[in-house]
Amino acid sequence: MTGAVGGRTDAAVLAAIALVVLGTVLGNAALFVAAAVPISILLLSWLASPPSPEIAVERRIDPSPAAPGERTSVTLTVHNEGETTLSDARFVDGVPTELSVSAGSPRGCLSIRPGESGSISYEIVPRQGRYEFEDPIVRLRPISGAAVTTTHSPAVGDATLSCRRNAGAIPQLNGALRRVGTQPTDSGGPGIQFHSTREYRPGDEVRRIDWRRLAKTGELTTVNFDETSTAETVVIADGRSAGRRARTTGHPTATELTAYAADRAITALVSAGNAVGLCALGITNEAVDVPLASDNQGRPWVPTGLDDATRTQIDAVLDAVVEGARAEPDDSRLATPSDAVADGGHGGAFFGLRTRLSNRADVIVVTPALDEAPVSLVETVLAAGHRTVVIAPDVTDCETPGRAVRHAERVVRLRRLRATDATVIDWDTRQPLSATLEAHR
Amino acid sequence: MSDYPSPLRALIELAAIGSLGFAVALVFAPDLPVSITPLTGLDVIRNDSLRAAMFAVIGAVGLAWVHWTTPSQSNRTNTRTAETEDRPLDFETLRSHPPEDAASAPTVGKRFEAHIDAAAAAARTGGADPAREQLQSIAIDAIAQTNSCSRDTAQSVLSKGEWTADPVAAAYLADREATLPFVRRLMAWLRPARTRRRRIERAINAVVTHLEGTDRR
Amino acid sequence: MSESLLPEANWRPTTTATTAAASIAVVSTLALAAIVGDALVPAALGVLSGAALAATVRTVAAAERRVATAVGGSLAVVAGAAFLGWLLAAVVVQTAWPPIPPIEVLALAPFLFGLGGFVTGFGAFSSVRSRSPTADAGRTAARLLLVVVVPVCAIGGTRIDAPLTPVRNAALEFLAAPTPTLVSASAVFSRLGGLLILFSASAVAVRYGVAQLPFVELASESARPTAIAVRRWSRRFLGYAAAFSGLIGFMFILTRGRLAGYERELPPELMGTLAAASASPTLRGGLIAAGVAAIVAVLLIRTLRFVASERFPPRWLPVVSFTTGGVLTAGAAVANEPAASVALSRATTPTGETVIRELLTTFGSFSLLTGLIVASIGVASTLAISISLAAGVRALGAAAGMQLAGTGVFIAAIAAGIAGGPVLVVLCGVAASLLVWDLGEFAVTLGLEIGHRGPTRRGELTHVVGGVVIVSLAVAVGVAVVLATGRLPEPSSEATTLAVIAATLGTVTLLVVAR
C-alpha cells in the first residue's frame, strides 16, 4: 500500500507532529504534553520485534479416502509452541483449485495462548481424483507495532484428499437387490435347470420330486436345484451427456455419481458370488483404455464374469465414464422424448443391447434419470423379460427454481418407472449410498 | 533481514537527538550559558508570530511528508519467506481468485433459469414466455400421473385451475392471468419482470407440492 | 463465466471491531465536549450531520433504487441543516439566540467541537457498512444538486409576479368569446376552421392516450375482449375524425374569403348555430382540457411505471430527484408557519425578536424555510464534493471511514486542549483517537484478508482489549510526563523558548526520518 496513509504507526506519527506543532503555535502546554501519548505508542511499536512464528500446523481430512459426493471435513489445527501469545494469527488454507468449499471457511483469525491450539474447519464435496493441498498462508501481527510476518507454514498431517469409487465399506444389498442373480426356488415352469438328483428322503418337498422319473422307472428321487448363479447380472451404467451436470459448482456430476453407484453395486454383487457384466451408455469403445468387445452401436460391453480380467475391464469402463463426465454436456440435444430417440433411446438403438443380454440375465440400470431415455431403456429391457432394478442418483432438490423444475420432472419419471415391474431405488446423493441401499426393502 | 540506514539519515537522526538533548539540558540548567545568548537575538526566535509561522510551516511540511510517503521501515518489518510464482502470498490474489471457488461447471437447472430470465425480460417487452410452455407440460404430466387420467383431461384440469390451492400459480399455468384480482393485475403491469419471476416460482412450488405433498427435499 | 461463491460484501470490515471503534469514537467525542465546556450541542449536532451525510452518500450514490434516492434527498436536508445548525449552535452557545451582529471575537473551541463531531459522525457511520465512502461522494453531490432545482423555482415563483401576467392575459384572450352579432361570415368560417383544427389536435392526443393507457392490461378476463375491441374502434374512429376535421379546418382557413359567398346559400339557422359554436369558449375549453388531460394521464402513467420498475434506468433518476425536491417544497409550504412561530417564541432578547420579525416580513416564512432547505442541500453537496476531492488527492486512504472517525476524535481532543480542559482529559482524547484509528485499520485488513465467513470474533476481541491496554499505558506515561514537568523548576522565559524550539525541531525531525 503506497502513498496513502495506511500504516498503523502513521497515525501516531501524524498525531505527534500535529500536537507538538499546535502546542507551540498556540502556546498551549496541554497539547504539547499530550504528544507524549502517541510518542510512547511509537516507542512501544519500535521496541516490538516482528513476531517469529513458532507454530505447528496440522491438517486432518476426514474421511480419507472419500467417496465421490461424500461430505468431507478438513480441519486445520494450529498449536502455539512459543512462549508468547499469538494475538492475531490469520490463516488461509491452500484448498486445491479443482475443489470448492461447500460449508465453513478455510480462512480464520485465531488468537492462541502459548501451549494452546485453535482450529479452522470447513467442508468439501469432492469429485473423483487425487487433490493436493498447499501449505496454508499465515500472517502474524502483534498488538503493538507495525511489523507483520507472512509465510507459508508447512502443515503436517493429511496433505492429499483422495476420492475414489471404492472408498468405504462394501454396502449390504437388501430387498430386490439381494434377489438379483438368483431365481426363486418355487417358480417352476420351463427353463429351470436342475443340477443333480438324489434319492428321496422322507421330508423332502413334494414339489421337488422328479415325477417323470417316477413315471418312467418308479423310483422316487428329489431334484437339487442350483439356486445360485443360475442367472447372470448385467449392470447398465448411464454415462450420457444429460447427466454431466452437478448440483452446484464444484460438486461431482450426476454421471460421476452414477459410475460410483455402479461400482459399489458391482462390488457388492461380486462379493456375494454373482457374475456381473457391464454396459456403459454415452461413451464409445475407443475411450476405454483396455480392449474389449462392444455391441453393434459402439458401446463398451463387458461380458459377465467373476474373474479379475472382468474386474479390470469393468474398472476401465467406469473410469472412461468418469472421464466423459468431465466433458461438457451436449446442450444441443433437448430432453424430450422425441430427441431421446435420436440419442439412442427407443427400442431401435437399444436393440444392440438386447442381443447381448442373455435370456436369464437380471439387469441393474444405474441412471440419474435426468431425461426420458432411461425410461424407454427400462421398458425395453422389461419387455424382453429381464428382471430390472433401477438405482437412480438424485442431484436435484428444491433449493433453486431451476433445480426444482428438474426435480419435478424426475419425480414424474421415477413414478412411471415404479408403475412398471422394475424396482426403483432413488438415492438422494446428500446421503451415503450404503445407507440408502441398506434401507431399501 | 536488516539493512543499515544511509549515512545521511543517520546524521539527521543524530542532529535531531542532539537538539532534543539540548532542550532537556536547557530545561534543567538554571541560567542560559553565555555562548548561546546570540541565538536569542534572532528574529525568528524573538518574534512571537514569526515563530508561530515557522512552526506551522514545519508542521505542515512534516505532516505532508508523512502522509504521502511510504515508511522505509515497513520493508524491514514485513518479513516474508521465499515467494514463488505459483504460490502467491498476496492477499489481493486470494480475494480475486479465492481458494473457496472451483472452476465453473455446468449445473442442474441452469438452462431453465436462463429461460426464467428470458421470460422476465419478455414480460417487459410483451414477447412470448418460454418458461410457461415447459412448466405447462411438466404440470400436465404431474396432474395426469397423480390423478391417473389422460393428458387431455389433465389439460382441462390445468385450465380450470382446480389442481392446486394457489390461485396465482393456477392462473399462470393456465395462461389466464387476467382472472386474478385487480391488484395483482396492477402489480403485473407496474413491475412486469419481478411479477413474472415470482409467478414462475410459485408455479414451480405448486407443481412440486402437488407431486410430493408438503414434505419434500 | 465463473461467479464467485463469495460476494463482494464478504470483504467488508469485520463487524465486532468496527462497531467497537465506531462507538468509542462517538462516545469519546461527545464526552470530550460535555466535560470540557458546554459545547455538547454543537458536538451532538455535528455528529448528527456527519451521520446523516454518511447515510445520504450511501443511499443516494450506492443504492440505485428510486426510494433510496428519495430518502437520500431528505437525509441530505437533515445533514445540511444539522451542519448549519452546529455552526449556529457554536455561536449561540457563546452569545444569545438569535445572534445579532456585531458579534465580538468568538472562541474557537465550540467550532472545533462541532467540526470534530461532524468528521467523527461521518466516518463512524459510513465505515460500519462499507470500507470507504469516498468513492460515492462525488455522485451524491451531483444528484443532490438536482433536488435543489424545484425548491429554487418555488422561491423564484413567489418572488416573481410580473412576467406571468402577459401569459395569463394571452390565455384569457384566446378563450374569450367575441359577441356573436359582430361576427361576419368569413370570420365564422375561419373560427370554425380553428375549432376544427383544435378538435383534430385533441383527437390525436386522446387517441394517443387511449393507446398508452393500460385499459387492456388491467381488464379482467371477461372484460378483456370488450376492452380490446373498444380500444381498436376508438383508435380508428379518432384517427379518421382527426384527419377529416383537420383537413376541413385547413380548407376553411385557407379559403375563408371565397366561402363568404356561400353564406347566403345556407339556411340562417345553420349559420347561427355555426357562429355560436365557433365562438363558444366552453367548446374550446373543453377540447383543450381533453387533450391536456390525455397527455397528462399518459405522462403520469409513464412516470408511475418507471418509478415502480425494478430496472429503473439511471437516466430517469433526475425524475426522482425533482420529485424529492417537490416533496420538500410542499413540506416547507406546510411547515413554515409553525416554524416561524417557534423561532419567534424562542428569542431571548427583545432586539432578537424584532430582528426575526423583520426577516419574516421581508422574505416571508416560506421563502426562508425553502431557502434553508436549499442551503442545507447545497452544504451537503459541497461536503460530498470535498470528501471526494480529498480522496482524489489521496488524502484519505483505503480505510477512510475509520480514519475520519479517528481524526474527528483528535480534533475534539485538540478543541478540549484549546478550551483549557484538564490535561488528563486531553490525554484520554488523544489516546481514544489513536485507538479508533488502530481498530479501524485492523477491522479493514481483517475483512480484506479473512472475510466475514471465517471465525474472527475471538481475534477481534483480543485486539480490542489489547488496544485499550496499550492506549491506557500510553496515557499513564503521559500523566507521568505531566507530573514530572510540574516538578521541575521554572526556567527563564528565553530558556523555555529555546528549549521548546529545540524540542519541537528535534521531535519532528526524528519522527519524520525514523519511520
- Cα of C2 vs its chain's centroid, Å: 39
Rg of chain B over CA atoms, in angstroms? 40
Instruction: Determine the length of chain C.
Output: 515
- Between CA C416 and CA C33 the distance in angstroms is 7
Residue B194 has pLDDT above 60, yes or no: yes
More confident residue, A181 or B177: B177
Position C261 scores a pLDDT of 64
3 state SS of A77: strand
- Between CA C177 and CA C180 the distance in angstroms is 8
Task: Tell me which chain A residues have a C-beta less than 8 angstroms from the C-beta of C507.
Answer: 16-17, 20, 35, 39
Residue in C closest to B175 by C-alpha: C221
Cβ contact C430–A30 (<8 Å): no
Q: How confident is the model at residue A344 (pLDDT cuts 50, 70, 90)?
A: very low
CATH domain A229-439 topology: Rossmann fold (3.40.50)
Domain boundaries defined on chain A: 8-47, 55-163, 198-225, 229-439
Task: Tell me which chain C residues have a C-beta less than 8 angstroms from the C-beta of A35.
Answer: 507
- Maximum average pLDDT range among B79-88, C127-136, C442-451: C442-451
Q: Within a domain: residue B139? A: yes
Cβ contact A19–C446 (<8 Å): no
Reported as half-sphere exposure (CB side, CA atoms, 13 A), residue C103 has a value of 16
Position B153 scores a pLDDT of 92
Residue-wise pLDDT tens digits, A127-177? 888 999 988 888 888 777 666 777 788 888 888 888 888 887 787 777 666
- A99-122 burial, b at 16+ Cβ within 10 Å, e below that, comes to bbbbebbbbbbbbbeeeebbbbbb
Tell me the residue range of the domain where B132 lies: 111-212
Task: Tell me which chain C residues have a C-beta less than 8 angstroms from the C-beta of B20.
Answer: 502-503, 506-507, 510
Position A301 scores a pLDDT of 83
Position C133 scores a pLDDT of 64
Taking alpha carbons only, the member of A25, C474, C400 closest to residue B62 is: A25
Query: Percent of chain B scored above 70 by pLDDT?
Result: 74
Position C182 scores a pLDDT of 45
Position B168 scores a pLDDT of 92
- Between CA B129 and CA B169 the distance in angstroms is 15
Cβ contact C503–B23 (<8 Å): yes
Position A339 scores a pLDDT of 36
Q: How confident is the model at residue C56 (pLDDT cuts 50, 70, 90)?
A: confident
Instruction: Give the sheet arrangement for strand A101-104, strand by strand.
Output: A101-104, A117-124, A72-80, A55-62, A155-157
Q: How confident is the model at residue B82 (pLDDT cuts 50, 70, 90)?
A: very low
Q: Within a domain: residue B178? A: yes
- H or E segment to which residue A276 belongs: strand A276-281
How many Cβ atoms are within 10 Å of A157's Cβ, its own excluded? Answer: 13
Position B203 scores a pLDDT of 93
Q: What backbone torsions phi and psi does residue B78 show, to the nearest 5 degrees?
A: -95, 100
DSSP C305-334: HHHH-SS--GGGHHHHHHHHHHHHHHHHHH
Choice among C7-21, C234-248, C499-513 with the minimum mean pLDDT: C499-513
Please work out, in degrees rounded to the nearest 5, the angle formed at the alpha carbon of residue A239 by the alpha carbons of A235 and A245: 135
Position B119 scores a pLDDT of 92
Average pLDDT over residues A200-227: 74
SS (H, E, C) C245-280: HHHHHHHHHHCHHHHHHHHHCCCHHHHHHHHHHHHC
Residue A438 has pLDDT above 70, yes or no: yes
Position B170 scores a pLDDT of 92
More confident residue, A4 or C126: C126
Residue B200 has pLDDT above 90, yes or no: yes
Choice among A40-54, A61-75, A242-256, B64-78 with the minimum mean pLDDT: B64-78
Query: Percent of chain B scored above 90 by pLDDT?
Result: 24
Q: Say which residues have a Cβ less than 8 Å from residue C186's Cβ, sequence separation at least 6.
A: C256, C257, C259, C260
Q: How confident is the model at residue A23 (pLDDT cuts 50, 70, 90)?
A: confident
Position C489 scores a pLDDT of 63
Give the gap in angstroms from C-alpha C113 to the nearest C-alpha of chain A.
15
**For all residues of chain C together, what is the average pLDDT?**
79
Tell me if C436 sits within 8 A of C402, measured CB to CB: yes
Name the residue among A21, A92, A95 with its Cβ closest to that of B58. A21
Position A3 scores a pLDDT of 28
Taking alpha carbons only, the member of A344, A347, A349, A320 closest to residue A333 is: A344
Position A12 scores a pLDDT of 84
Give the gap in angstroms from C-alpha B95 to the nearest C-alpha of chain C.
8
Average pLDDT over residues B11-21: 79
Residue-wise pLDDT tens digits, C467-514? 899 899 899 988 988 888 777 666 566 666 777 777 777 777 777 776
Task: Tell me which chain B residues have a C-beta less than 8 angstroms from the C-beta of C1.
Answer: 104
Residue C360 has pLDDT above 90, yes or no: no
Taking alpha carbons only, the member of A278, A268, A266 closest to residue A239 is: A278
Choice among A169-173, A308-312, C327-331, C496-500 with the minimum mean pLDDT: C496-500
Reported as half-sphere exposure (CB side, CA atoms, 13 A), residue B66 has a value of 26
Q: How many CB pairs below 8 A link A and B?
A: 180
Question: What would the grid cell of residue C380 be?
Answer: 451537503
- CB contacts under 8 A, B 11-30 vs C, are 12-13, 15-20, 22-24, 26-30
Q: Say which residues have a Cβ less than 8 Å from residue C171's Cβ, sequence separation at least 6.
A: none
Give the gap in angstroms from C-alpha C36 to the nearest C-alpha of chain A.
13
Looking at the DSSP assignment, which residues form a beta bridge with residue A112? A86
Tell me if B172 sits within 8 A of B131, measured CB to CB: no
- Maximum average pLDDT range among B65-79, B87-101, C34-48, C342-356: C34-48
Cβ contact C451–A105 (<8 Å): yes
Average pLDDT over residues C95-104: 66
Phi-psi region of B126 (alpha: psi -120 to 50; beta: other; left: phi over 0): left
Cβ contact C467–A143 (<8 Å): yes
Tell me if C306 sits within 8 A of C322, measured CB to CB: no
- Between CA B174 and CA A298 the distance in angstroms is 45
Residue C259 has pLDDT above 70, yes or no: no
Residue-wise pLDDT tens digits, C145-173? 777 888 888 888 777 665 666 766 766 66
Cβ contact B102–A50 (<8 Å): no
The answer as to CATH 2.60.40.10 being correct for domain A55-163 is: yes
- Between CA C275 and CA C271 the distance in angstroms is 6
Q: Within a domain: residue B101? A: no
Residue C359 has pLDDT above 70, yes or no: yes
Residue A208 has pLDDT above 90, yes or no: no
Q: Which of A141, A411, A413, A426 has the most B C-beta neighbours within 10 Å, making it the best mutation to test the interface with B?
A: A411
- CB contacts under 8 A, C 290-319 vs B, are 304-305, 308-311
Q: Within a domain: residue B8? A: no
Q: Say which residues have a Cβ less than 8 Å from residue C237's Cβ, sequence separation at least 6.
A: none
Query: Percent of chain A scored above 70 by pLDDT?
Result: 81
Q: What backbone torsions phi and psi does residue A431 show, to the nearest 5 degrees?
A: -105, 160
**For all residues of chain A together, what is the average pLDDT?**
80
Residue B46 has pLDDT above 70, yes or no: no
Instruction: Determine the length of chain B.
Output: 217
Taking alpha carbons only, the member of A102, A98, A104, A109 closest to residue A136 is: A109
Cβ contact C450–A89 (<8 Å): no
Position B4 scores a pLDDT of 54
More confident residue, A2 or A61: A61
Question: What would the grid cell of residue C88 be?
Answer: 449556529
Position B12 scores a pLDDT of 80
Give the gap in angstroms from C-alpha C455 to the nearest C-alpha of chain A.
5
- CA torsion sign for B142, B143, B149, B152 is negative
Average pLDDT over residues B193-206: 92
ipTM of the complex: 0.74
Name the residue among C427, C446, C475 with its Cβ closest to that of A109. C446
Residue in A closest to C410 by C-alpha: A15
Position A390 scores a pLDDT of 92
Give the gap in angstroms from C-alpha B170 to the nearest C-alpha of chain A.
16
DSSP C154-210: HHHHHH--TTHHHHHHHHHHHH----GGG--HHHHHHHHHHHHHHHHHHHHHHHHHH
Q: How confident is the model at residue C66 (pLDDT cuts 50, 70, 90)?
A: low
Average pLDDT over residues C432-454: 87
Position C107 scores a pLDDT of 76
Position B196 scores a pLDDT of 92
Residue in B closest to C514 by C-alpha: B13
- Chains touching chain C through at least 3 C-beta pairs below 8 angstroms are A, B
Average pLDDT over residues A286-304: 76
Residue B202 has pLDDT above 80, yes or no: yes
- Between CA A281 and CA A285 the distance in angstroms is 10
Question: What would the grid cell of residue B5 be?
Answer: 540506514
Cβ contact C498–B190 (<8 Å): no
Residue B204 has pLDDT above 90, yes or no: yes
More confident residue, B133 or C261: B133
- Between CA C187 and CA A354 the distance in angstroms is 99
Domain boundaries defined on chain C: 8-158+319-489, 178-279
Alpha helices in A248-295 (DSSP H): 254-271
- Maximum average pLDDT range among A55-64, A214-223, C262-271: A55-64
Distances (CA, A) of A341 to A350, A376, B141, C385, C468: 10, 9, 19, 67, 74
Please work out, in degrees rounded to the nearest 5, the angle formed at the alpha carbon of residue C161 by the alpha carbons of C157 and C167: 100
Cβ contact C305–B28 (<8 Å): no
Q: Provide long-range contacts, Cβ within 8 A and 24+ apart, for A194-199.
A: A194/A223, A194/A224, A194/A225, A194/A226, A195/A224, A195/A225, A195/A226, A196/A223, A196/A224, A197/A221, A197/A222, A197/A223, A197/A224, A198/A222, A198/A224
Task: Tell me which chain B residues have a C-beta less than 8 angstroms from the C-beta of A402.
Answer: 108-113, 116
Average pLDDT over residues C187-205: 82
Position A150 scores a pLDDT of 77
Name the residue among B65, B176, B188 with its Cβ closest to that of C221. B176
Looking at the DSSP assignment, which residues form a beta bridge with residue A66? A163
Give the gap in angstroms from C-alpha C5 to the nearest C-alpha of chain B.
6
Give the gap in angstroms from C-alpha A151 to the nearest C-alpha of chain B.
5
Position A33 scores a pLDDT of 85
DSSP C206-250: HHHHHHHS-HHHHS-TTTHHHHHHHHHHHHHHHHHHHHHHHHHHH
